[in-house]
Chain A
Amino acid sequence: MKALIIILGVALGLGLGLFPKFDRPKPKWWKILVFLIMSGSICLSLLPPIAENPLVARYMSTKIPGHVSNILLYVKPGTLHYHHVLQFWNCEFYFPGKEANPEKLIINSRDLPPEFKSDKRLILKLNYDFQNKQFVYLSTAYVSPILVFPFVPGLEQQIRILNFHVPVAWICVLAFLISMIYSIRYLRSKDFEFDLIASSTAGLGLLFCVLATVTGMVWAKANWGSFWNWDPRETSIFILLLIYAAYFSLRSAIENPETKARLSAVYSVLAFITVPFLVFILPRILSGLHPGSENDSTTGPILSAKEGALSIIQQISFSLGFATFTAIFFWMLNIYIRQRKLQQKIEGEF
């Protein structure tokens, strides 16, 4: 199911991106649609609050003493039981699709917060007291949240960057693939239009490679404590950046247009051979910090077959991220190719 949702997102992006053609102006409805999908994707990635269930909250308390947990709670006023100074009651924690487990919850205020008096879903900030086996209420974070992301231990709020970082890295591979295809087409036909498309996609691929590195660095700082850790995947993307930076220095070093196009086409084909090795193989056969590394027992939330690794909302927002970034890449490519073609036409007249 997860794979299908992600594939649908990629297919939507490719379908939108390749319509009507690389170098034909996009219709107005297309631009508005892409703009709206991207705005929706940003909202869906960043806005839903993240909530745990009580089992995760208790587990996190063993790891981090005093850990404040956001717990999704379904308040049923009929089940409240009061005591006079420390108000507490046995309430039912809401487990989507599972049996509810009664737990004790302590509220340190004399007055019961008003949101507890109605039949609503709440996200509470709680502390789990291990000695007394009870949750201590700190504050109400959200009342009646529409959508909730599940808490992923170890990733928590940082999971949101997944919807930007992974699609951007995918675009980088896609761009280098297109560049290689058009380089081969140039070598076969000697048509300079193919060289223009190949070099434009390589340029945008390099830009998206930088974006993937930057978003990855931000995530690494939040999760691993420093921006750069020389993890195999970080090292491989750095090598990839150098390889494609060399492509442009090669192009700028040659003046003869035919030699430039021929040599850079050959270089682009050779450079792409390293891409599957650097992106898919090397980070998996070496020990590293990324999920899926040789020393990692888990495959990470995306590839994991474990139920609940990514909720359906997260899967949809992740898939939407793929669709929007793919469409935006093709929009940028369209503008870039048209601008370069027009420039060549005008220069050819003088």
Chain B
Amino acid sequence: MDKYFSSDSLYVVFFIILIIWLGIGSYFFKVDRKLTKLEKSHEEHLKK
């Protein structure tokens, strides 16, 4: 364990976690935006 941390692998872990979070976060943004569009189009469809 000491070897693992002394080789500064922590930065690798940090960047991997940050990339995973960026992926998940942007996916949430995308899904939320798509869902809002669908909700709006459904409301408009109901009004017609």
Query: CB within 8 Å of B: which residues of A?
Result: 25-26, 31, 35, 38-39, 42-43, 46-47, 67-68, 125, 156-157, 222, 331-332, 335, 338-339, 342, 345-346
Assess the B21–A345 pair: CB atoms within 8 A.
Answer: no
**B35 interface neighbour in A38, A39, A339, Cβ under 8 Å:** A339
Interface on chain A toward B: helix, strand, loop, or mixed SS? Answer: helix
Q: Nearest 9 pairs between A and B by C-beta?
A: A46-B14, A157-B5, A35-B25, A25-B36, A338-B35, A335-B31, A42-B17, A42-B18, A335-B32
Assess the B28–A31 pair: CB atoms within 8 A.
Answer: yes
**A157 interface neighbour in B10, B21, B36, B39, Cβ under 8 Å:** B10
Instruction: Please tell me the number of chain B residues within 8 Å of chain A, measured between CB atoms.
Output: 21
Which of A156, A157, A335 neighbours the largest number of chain B CB atoms within 10 Å of its CB?
A: A157
Q: A31-B29, A222-B1 are in contact. Are A46 and B39 (CB under 8 A)?
A: no
11 pairs from A and B in contact (CB 8 Å cutoff): A25-B35, A39-B21, A42-B21, A46-B17, A47-B14, A156-B1, A157-B1, A332-B28, A338-B39, A339-B35, A345-B42
- Not counting A39-B25, A42-B17, A68-B2, a sample of 17 additional A-B residue pairs whose C-beta atoms are within 8 angstroms of each other reads A25-B35, A26-B32, A39-B22, A42-B21, A43-B18, A46-B10, A46-B17, A67-B2, A125-B6, A157-B1, A331-B28, A335-B31, A338-B39, A342-B35, A342-B38, A342-B42, A345-B42
**B32 interface neighbour in A31, A39, A42, A346, Cβ under 8 Å:** A31
Q: Which residue of A lies closest to B36 (CB)?
A: A25
Assess the B32–A25 pair: CB atoms within 8 A.
Answer: yes
Chain A nearest CB: distance from B18 CB in Å? 6
